[in-house]
Amino acid sequence: MRKLIASLCLIITFLVTACSTTTATNPDDPFEPFNRKIFAFNLKFDTYLFRPIAKVYDKILPDFVENRIDNFFDNIDVIPSIVNDILQGRVYYTLNDTWRLAVNTTFGIGGLFDVASEIGLEEHYSDFGLTLARWGYTRTAYFVIPIVGPSTIRDTVGAVGTNYTSVWPFIRPVWLGWSMYGLRAVNLRSQRLADDKLLYEAFDPYVFARNAYIQNRQKHINDEGPAIKDPYAEESGASVVDESDPFVAGDEELSDDSDPFVEGESTEAKDTEAKNEAKEDKENEDNTTPADPLISNLPE
């Protein structure tokens, strides 16, 4: 609880400092002057310290090892995702993420291998910031956190809730937890090395980073997930008719012409009737006595 209070106090201190030194210009970024200063600091911190470490990490470790580390931390992050899926009332993602955690923890050897994706359990992420958005806190000011990077006021508060629904505060000894967290941060940074060119070549790197973050978060907020449909439920006003069935033609009755069997039967009957008529004509011709020319020439 003391750590939670300390984290909230730190957040409030940042917000008070921002509000007291800035004037609102952009409705989505009212703290822009303050945010730009923090962004410039973060950029230097990344350029001279964090990025070089990530580059060495990426160069030394084989891709196979990096992927195993990435899968391991992704599996740990599923735990707060499940909690927030429940808080958001998302049944599909709750079941999906719970099965992902179970499958990858067991068959994936502690999450080192992503077996769940191979069997159709898609990767999904959620946090308490997204939960607050689902609860109605959708409009929030952009806010840059020192060292951490882009965020919003909602997501900054949400980060505290996300942290305390994860395993990180409960790992003992404490140094092990912080070491694992540091390894996770370096691993995440190494995955984004390819994106550095986009940021550094942008006309305004600050605006580029802000827009990218806000659009990404909005994408997660708008993600409703696959709809769970009842296969036995009929749509309102719809008739349960299989249009592919050649024996069913909607609500209209089939005429003899539209039924291939009726049409075939009618044709066969006509052929039989014609054959019978031809047979009768032939029999009549056979039974008719030929005319005698002598008799036919006698006078009446």
**235 vs 50, residue with greater confidence:** 50
Match 């719970």 to its residue by tokens: 98
- Six-digit token string for 280: 């009768």
CA distances from 238 to 227, 242, 245 (A): 19, 11, 17
Say which DSSP state 150 is in.
Answer: E
Tell whether the model's pLDDT for residue 72 goes beyond 90: yes
- Spatial separation of the C-alpha atoms in residues 102 and 90, rounded to whole Å: 18
- Share of residues in the chain with pLDDT > 70 (%): 66
Q: Quick one: residue 113, left, alpha or beta (phi over 0 = left, psi -120 to 50 = alpha)?
A: beta
pLDDT tens, 259-281? 554 444 555 556 666 666 666 66
- pLDDT for 24: 52
CA dihedral 186, 189, 191, 197 (to 10 degrees): -150
Query: Could you count the other beta carbons within 10 Å of the beta carbon of residue 281?
Result: 10
- pLDDT for 208: 94
Q: What is the pTM of this model?
A: 0.67
- Share of residues in the chain with pLDDT > 90 (%): 56
Domain boundaries, given as residue ranges, for the chain: 2-60+127-222, 249-285
Q: Which whole number is the average pLDDT over 176-191?
A: 93
pLDDT tens, 201-229? 889 999 999 999 999 999 988 886 665 55
- pLDDT for 109: 95
Q: Residue 16: which pLDDT band, with cuts at 50, 70 and 90?
A: very low
- pLDDT for 185: 94
- Six-digit token string for 241: 């008719």
Q: Which whole number is the average pLDDT over 165-192?
A: 92
What is the three-state SS of 55-117?
A: HHHHHHCCHHHHHHHHHHHHHHHHHHHHHHHHHHCCHHHHHHHHHHHHHHHHCCCCCCCCHHH
The C-alpha angle with vertex 220 and arms to 107 and 206, in degrees rounded to 5, equals: 115
Q: Residue 138: which pLDDT band, with cuts at 50, 70 and 90?
A: confident
